[in-house]
Amino acid sequence: MLPRHSTSPVRLKGHPDLREDLPLLARIAPFLACVLLAVLVLTSLNPSPWSSPTHLFLRRPPPLIEADDHVPPVSGCSDTSLTALEGRENAAIVLLIRESDLPELLPTLSSFESRFNARFRYPYVFVSDPDDPPLPDEFKLEVGKVLPEGAVTEWGVVPEAHWRIPEWMDQTEVRAGFILQEERGVQYAGREGYHHMCRWYSGLWARHPLLAKYDWYWRLEPGVRFYCTISYDPFRFLALHNKVYGFAITVIDQINTIPSLIPTVLDYLEAKGIKPRDPHSWEFLMRKNGDDYAACHFWTNFEIGDLRFFRSREYQDLFRALDQAGGFYTERASCEILWGDAPVRALALGALAGIDKIHHFEDIGYQHDWFFQCPSRSTSLLGPLSTKEGESVAGCQCECPMAGDLQGREKGRELVDMNDDWRYSCMSFWKDAVRKSRGK
């Protein structure tokens, strides 16, 4: 007879031990269920970009980190065996292209893949304008050859209504203005498609159907080059630090392209009772050279941004007001007006976001045309390396060109280092604005 409080199993005479007859799979089923549940949870948090033809993205609530204008740039190399396993943002690489862009597009994609996206595998969204013939299958095949196997690509066209002179403008008068603008030396003013592009990238692009499912975009253009390895995820970097925008180069605009843009924006802000979020970025944008605005802005051929900000009512209301003003094309008899998307973007960020929402990617070596930026130091060491005040940022595995190089171009188009060239760059003014925001 068993003790009163014994926990030993009682086996009745003539009855077999049922546990011994249970199949092995049935006995370990609870354990397998727990393992499967754990795998599903971990996969949803850190999905593999290789696991399916479409990406699974990290969807999380807004960052808990407060916006911090003291976030230093990344310096040194991250361990890509770890960063490539982190969760992805809901993001895409966006390109506006034509069939004639192919010779410049292929080296750009090759450069971008080798320096960044081969490890992080973000999808590409290729958009063409409706005035060009549809991109042929041969074009898409050539693009596929320079991308890794399994790369996700989406192809679309700008809606025709977004690539036309608005119906509230006199088309004959507008096109006559294009001719006058070109005669007066306004850059690109004689090309109607350029006007459409400026208008589209100023506000309409964020509402393109192919981008509706994404939260972030990285704008890429044919012909650009990357000179440093980007061993971390810039999308994730911006998201974790509660930023809405990142840039590489800041330039002084041609003042004859935007003589009325800033007054129009100021009038709009006053009418709506909107005060710029901080004085420092606004001071950077409102610089004057005598009586004229110096028009510093972020060069939008490289930009990484939060589409939720650019789709917001505040941003879209500002864009619509500028669109109604007509400055993307011309204003009646005035023939000096051509508002570009870069100054529009910068003014909107200054008014609606502020300096603590904007990040300068000074660790990324980048070139467009004959303008480039590159870190002054390069390393292969795993960081983070020191970025104390006065110490230069170290890019990861950079192979930077030299200022003054022609790279096969004609004389007069030598490479310009936009980190410190006073003729074209606003970088010193931007750094001054950042220092003032930090109370230094």
The sign of the torsion formed by the CA atoms of 187, 193, 196, 197 equals: negative
Question: CA-CA distance, 344 to 294, in Å (whole number)?
Answer: 14
| One-letter amino acid of 51 | S
Rounded CA-CA distance 398/391 in Å is 17
* Run of H or E including 417: strand 416-417
Whole-angstrom Cα distance, residue 326 to residue 75?
A: 43
- Residue 133 CB neighbour total at 10 angstroms: 8
First to last CA, the chain: 86
Residues noted as catalytic: 303
Helix axes of 313-325 and 341-352: crossing angle, nearest 10 degrees: 140
Q: How many CB atoms lie within 10 A of CB 388?
A: 6
Q: How many CB atoms lie within 10 A of CB 183?
A: 11
Strands 153-157 and 216-219 turn out to be: unpaired
Q: Is the Cβ–Cβ distance between 414 and 422 less than 8 Å?
A: no
Return the axis-axis angle of helices 313-325 and 261-272, rounded to nearest 10°.
130
**Tally of residues, the chain:** 440
Contact yes or no for 309/244 (Cβ under 8 A)? yes
8 Å CB contact between 158 and 164: no
